[in-house]
A and B are shown apart, each in its own frame.
Chain A
Amino acid sequence: MISRRLFTLAAAAAMTITTAAQAQSPEEFFAGKTLRVVSSTGAGGTMDLYLLLFMKHAEKHLPEGTSLVLDHRTGGGGSIMANYIYNQARADGTEFGMPVPAIVSSTFTQPDATRYVPDEFTALGRLVDLPRVFVARTDSGITSFEDLRDAEGEITHGIMTVGTSLDQYMRIANEALGANFRAVAGYSGGGPTFLAMEQGEVQSTTAEPANLLANKWHLVESGDISVLGILGLEPVAGLEDYPNLLDLIDEDSPAYGKSLSVAQSAGIGLSLIAPPGVPEDRATYLREVFTATMTDPELLAEAEERSIPINYASGDWLQDLLGDAMNVDDDVRAWFASLVQ
């Protein structure tokens, strides 16, 4: 009898809380709350840079007293964070995060590790895309994509772990252009890989445009390093004169689907997603906050001052891209799966 009473009491309390929450406007709901922003990479990286910039300016567009804290959940090639957001994070709008760009293609390469359906996330918007730039030491004799086609010998190409994004870019170039890149795996990040190329240990690699333009452009100007081109969904400011590999591939070619899929990961770039099932009004509100933040003149001015490229895209655009990126042929899925087998 006592337990039944307790149950009735608890149910009534839960209903009261639920009804009260439903009656709240999103502004009332978020007021005074601490929102947790989850990063899928470690502290101090590019993701932190964007998240901290976003968090600093987003607080202006949230109700008074609402704060944001940064949380890092790394590992499993980004799957730990994405699994967390999909399965464990509160779906009330108070937790959202930045997945790795390969959030969709990871479900092809490591289906056993990914416990989420990408297009079921609540997409809030994109801060910037993350294409990669093919670069080579000029003394390797490679200064353009054409040179890659014509090269007779192997060109050593620095990558991190086999099957991850740097490897995918290299294999696309090999398949689409007939390039003869030979992977040298084991570098612990984009920075060490680029350094290995500077040191002459490897002849080529791919780089983040932002890092290349801000920190390494003197090597391009001095002629030590040549930019061959990019692979991404959109043009890159500052690199408009270089070809996009995607444009060079015939749409009927088997390589096109794979290239497009890799480019879609670049298009997802650094985005914010919330768990599935966030109440519609709060999801809309968070998307509005995102848009207001990313178009905030103060944010844009600070980004320009700090040489942080911004390429905002809306939550709706991102939601569509997540769906499109999942919609690939079986041979593309099989190609991704083969990278780690």
Chain B
Amino acid sequence: MTPDILQSMSDAAAMLFQWRMMFYLFLGAVIGTLLAVIPGVGGLMGLALLLPFTFSMPATEAIVFMIAALAVMSTADSIPAILFGVPGTPTSMVTVLDGYPMAKNGEAGRAMGAAFTSSVLGGIVGALLLIVVIPISMPVLMGATSPELFGFCILGLAMVGALAGGSMAKGIGAALIGVLLAFIGQDDQTATLRWSFDTLYLWDGLHILIIALGIYALPEIADLAILRKAIAPSGKRSKLSGVGMGFRDTMRNLWPVTRSATASSALGIIPAVGPTVIPWLVYSYTTMVTRGPKMFGRGDVRGVIASESSNNATVGGALLPTVALGVPGSAPMALFLGAMLLHGIAPGPDMLSRNLDLTYTMVWGIVLANVIGGLLALGLARPLSLIVLVRPAILVPVIAVVVFAGALQSTRQWEDGLFLLAIGALGWVMKRARWPRAPLFLAFILGPLVEKYFFISYNIHGWGFLVRPWVMALLGLTALFLAGIVIGRWARKRRQGKRLKSLRFTPSLSLDTVFAATVFAAFVLAFWTSLDWRFAAAIMPQIAAVAGIVFAGAALVGVLTTATWHSHGALEEETHFDLETDFGDLAPRTILLRGAHFLAMLALLGALSWAFGILVALPVFMIAYLLINREKALITLTVTASFWLVAWLLFDKVLRLAWPRPLFDIGSLLPF
């Protein structure tokens, strides 16, 4: 490290420790923490809301404010992920996998303690790594062209194999559903509108927030509504000591934390592989290399640690391409880039040379904000962990409204609500039928990137792009990874002496059968409807659809048949990387009826909002929901009035959110 770099680091630290800078840093960390707790409204949308406020700040203070808010969001967004299974932002989706089951087991405090500690450590390690690599990063950044990014995306997509869990057919089938959902909208190569059904809403495809909230959040709320029990039974009340246990869990796993954070920060530098993808890669890798008894997907604290140490570390990595190239490594970073441009701070190589002190100010800002954010989140942990004991009749409508309002911020059209319900229904059925949802989400992000980088690379280099050194190395790594999965499965089978004894055709009209058949039919239909498209628009969706027909077909055969196996002893249970809800002795009919009831209530909220606006619909929905669920009138009115007041103040007065225009805008006639 040259004296110039050391001087820049020390200048940056001196600048940051001025009281004025510290004030903005603290303010950013506090606001970022509070926003990230609100699913949908926090995270990306939260940063977008904060951006205008920075305009009146001095440039460096604005940058420090934004970077602090950005840095802490990956810590605080784990709170709703753990408590309700609702990711605060898409980056905390992996945390849901083990964090939420821990909350259900009365270990919310422990999960949050582990999440915050590993998140803070991950953020710090990621930022410190950045300090080391900044001076040598420019050649790497400039060398990452479309063929190399294609290679990275293929490697990422291969991780689906690890997340597929017990049923490879269902796992890959789920990924292919994600790919087809991602292909909705206008394609870049021919401007063909793919599966947009002549609607303007689908022109740009489905918003990631709708997928994230629909696929994970709504099914968890629905299950709470169906079960009609608090998230954690009262006998499993979370204790404050749990937070300390989570802290100790993290300290016992310092090497995995460092490994996850280092890899995530390094991967975060690559623009294509953002913080929504990297934690999945790290999680799947962790599940493969962890030794001893594993409970991943069912409440293993190491899953929470892997996810949280990863998602926060990507912030540091993603900062590099943003400041050095003006190409944001993630969606939140795009907003941070916006803040830089608003203040006339030009991204470019100068940020790694002439303006290095400013870049280091951002890096130190990430380190400090992480510490502040971690402490704030720890402070919130105890009061918030008590939420898991709240009766679902009260909790469900409150979370449902927050998620619905968050979804409406995606594009501010009523269709956001409709698609939230549709994707939510898909997510719920997938969960019941044990189709893992993680591959869907991962493929939803990576599928279009693979298509984009393939066409750019092919257009420029022809097939020759596949023999570029880095591309070959990445594709080779992908092949090795997939071979490892196949060999691992084969070895396990061999170890258990598992051999097929008999296979019987046992058809039944279960949810599993109906869903597999529907997915199979959907892939056939997708292929059929793409036949009229021009080649460049059609080829990738058709490949995905054909693969989908094969894997959904295999899944369908799987559910229509019963296999019995020979083995040396009891068969090991296959890991299923997704949440599961134990409905106990509830009859399937009851489950379906309660599910339909919940869906109908949500539809009521949507319809009332569409007709009269969300702030008018909110109290009607709340009162109806609470009374139907036999809450007392006084409690109903108190909860409704309190929540309406908070929502009005937060959404309308503080955040000044814009909503789609209702049919009858009676809210605008109100004097306040």
A interface residues (Cβ-Cβ under 8 A, vs B) = 34, 36, 42-46, 48-49, 52-53, 55-56, 69-77, 79-80, 83-84, 88-90, 112-113, 156, 160-164, 184-188, 191-192, 195-196, 198-202, 214-216, 218, 305-308, 339-340
Q: How far is the CB of A59 from chain B (nearest CB, A)?
A: 11
Q: B651 near A: Cβ within 8 Å?
A: no
Q: Are A76 and B342 in contact (CB under 8 A)?
A: no
Q: Are A185 and B337 in contact (CB under 8 A)?
A: no
Q: Are B191 and A340 in contact (CB under 8 A)?
A: yes
Instruction: Provide the residues of chain A in CB contact with B188, threshold 8 Å.
Output: 160-162, 185-186
Q: Are A56 and B56 in contact (CB under 8 A)?
A: yes
Across the interface, A186 reaches (CB within 8 A) one of B189, B201, B344, B658, namely B189
Q: List 27 A-B contacts (CB under 8 A).
A: A34-B656, A43-B47, A44-B51, A44-B337, A48-B51, A48-B52, A48-B342, A52-B55, A55-B52, A56-B55, A70-B52, A75-B200, A75-B201, A161-B186, A161-B188, A162-B188, A163-B191, A185-B189, A185-B456, A185-B459, A195-B326, A196-B145, A201-B145, A215-B348, A216-B348, A305-B344, A339-B191
Q: Which residue of A lies closest to B409 (CB)?
A: A72
Instruction: Provide the residues of chain B in CB contact with A339, threshold 8 Å.
Output: 191
B78-106 interface mask toward A, CB cutoff 8 Å, 1 = contact, 0 = none?
00000000000000000000000000000
Q: Are A215 and B455 in contact (CB under 8 A)?
A: no
Across the interface, B338 reaches (CB within 8 A) one of A43, A55, A77, A184, namely A43
Q: B582 near A: Cβ within 8 Å?
A: no
Instruction: Provide the residues of chain A in CB contact with B460, threshold 8 Å.
Output: 156, 184, 201-202
Q: Which residue of B lies closest to A192 (CB)?
A: B327
Q: Are A49 and B342 in contact (CB under 8 A)?
A: yes
B31-52 interface mask toward A, CB cutoff 8 Å, 1 = contact, 0 = none?
0000000000000000110011
Q: Are B142 and A198 in contact (CB under 8 A)?
A: yes
Q: B285 near A: Cβ within 8 Å?
A: no
Q: Are A76 and B200 in contact (CB under 8 A)?
A: yes
Q: Are A195 and B325 in contact (CB under 8 A)?
A: yes
Distance A80 CA – B452 CA, assembled complex (angstroms):
24
- Inter-chain pairs besides A75-B203, A164-B191, A186-B452, 17 sampled, C-beta below 8 Å: A43-B335, A44-B334, A44-B337, A44-B338, A44-B341, A45-B338, A72-B48, A74-B204, A77-B203, A80-B413, A90-B668, A112-B198, A162-B190, A196-B456, A201-B456, A306-B343, A306-B344
Instruction: Provide the residues of chain A in CB contact with B325, threshold 8 Å.
Output: 195
Within 8 A of A (CB), among B200-226: 200-201, 203-204
Q: Which residue of A lies closest to B146 (CB)?
A: A201
Distance A199 CA – B459 CA, assembled complex (angstroms):
16
Within 8 A of A (CB), among B432-455: 452-453, 455
Instruction: Provide the residues of chain B in CB contact with A199, threshold 8 Å.
Output: 142-143, 145
Q: Are A36 and B201 in contact (CB under 8 A)?
A: no
Instruction: Provide the residues of chain A in CB contact with B339, threshold 8 Å.
Output: 44
Q: B346 near A: Cβ within 8 Å?
A: yes
Distance A56 CA – B52 CA, assembled complex (angstroms):
10
Q: How far is the CB of B110 from chain A (nearest CB, A)?
A: 37
Q: Are B48 and A187 in contact (CB under 8 A)?
A: no
Instruction: Provide the residues of chain A in CB contact with B248, threshold 8 Å.
Output: none
Task: Check A80/B456 contact, CB under 8 A, given A75-B411, A161-B191, A215-B346.
Answer: no
Q: Are B347 and A215 in contact (CB under 8 A)?
A: yes
Distance A164 CA – B411 CA, assembled complex (angstroms):
21
Q: Are A214 and B191 in contact (CB under 8 A)?
A: no
Distance A117 CA – B204 CA, assembled complex (angstroms):
23
Instruction: Provide the residues of chain B in CB contact with A112, threshold 8 Å.
Output: 198
Q: How far is the CB of A30 from chain B (nearest CB, A)?
A: 15
B168-208 interface mask toward A, CB cutoff 8 Å, 1 = contact, 0 = none?
00000000000000000011111100000010110110000
Across the interface, B411 reaches (CB within 8 A) one of A49, A80, A214, namely A80
Instruction: Provide the residues of chain A in CB contact with B459, threshold 8 Å.
Output: 156, 184-185
Instruction: Provide the residues of chain B in CB contact with A71, threshold 8 Å.
Output: 412, 658
Q: B661 near A: Cβ within 8 Å?
A: yes
Q: Are A69 and B191 in contact (CB under 8 A)?
A: no
Instruction: Provide the residues of chain A in CB contact with B343, threshold 8 Å.
Output: 306
Q: Which residue of A lies closest to B49 (CB)?
A: A43
Instruction: Provide the residues of chain A in CB contact with B191, threshold 8 Å.
Output: 161-164, 339-340
Q: Which residue of A lies closest to B186 (CB)?
A: A161
Distance A234 CA – B453 CA, assembled complex (angstroms):
36
Q: Which residue of B lies closest to A161 (CB)?
A: B188
Distance A90 CA – B343 CA, assembled complex (angstroms):
32
Distance A168 CA – B98 CA, assembled complex (angstroms):
50
Q: How far is the CB of B585 from chain A (nearest CB, A)?
A: 47
Distance A218 CA – B658 CA, assembled complex (angstroms):
41
Task: Check A184/B55 contact, CB under 8 A, given A75-B204, A80-B413, A161-B186.
Answer: no
Q: How far is the CB of A306 from chain B (nearest CB, A)?
A: 4
